[in-house]
Amino acid sequence: GAAGAVLLAQDGTTQVLADGLDLPMGVAVGADGTVYASESGAGRVVRIAGGRAEKVIDGLIEPQGIALTGDRLFVADVGAKELISCDLANGARTVLATGLPVKAPPGVTPKLLGGVGDMSGPMVPFCGVAVDGQGTVFLSGDAEGSVIAVRPEGRA
């Protein structure tokens, strides 16, 4: 099966970009075509190159959604309830937001959905991340059904 893998579907064919990953959840693609993936089970974000996964960020609790703009990678660490920014040029990390309404609260077990139509299951809660052209990061507050906008400093 394709569990633990990042696949590329193109022109009617499927190619394995990397496998053996520990719960890959989020994927982002750079302007140069470089593929990044969050490994939720391993607490890290990797760069996929030549069929291998190279560590970009580690020491996370449970990374899920990721987004990329230029040399800046954003990751939602739902285990820490934080939004983190990483400068890919020098590896510097900044915590942009804490106490986020992501993941089920302690003591609450989310109901997992089985497969739906052609999609395999189980469907698990997921915190997605996106970034716009002005650097505003949008994060899905999956614990409460909200979308949060985190603006860079100096922007209203």
Residue-wise pLDDT tens digits, 36-69: 999 999 999 999 988 889 999 999 999 999 999 9
Extended strands (E) in the chain: 6-10, 13-18, 24-29, 35-39, 44-49, 52-57, 63-69, 72-77, 82-87, 93-97, 129-131, 137-141, 146-150
Q: The pTM is what?
A: 0.86
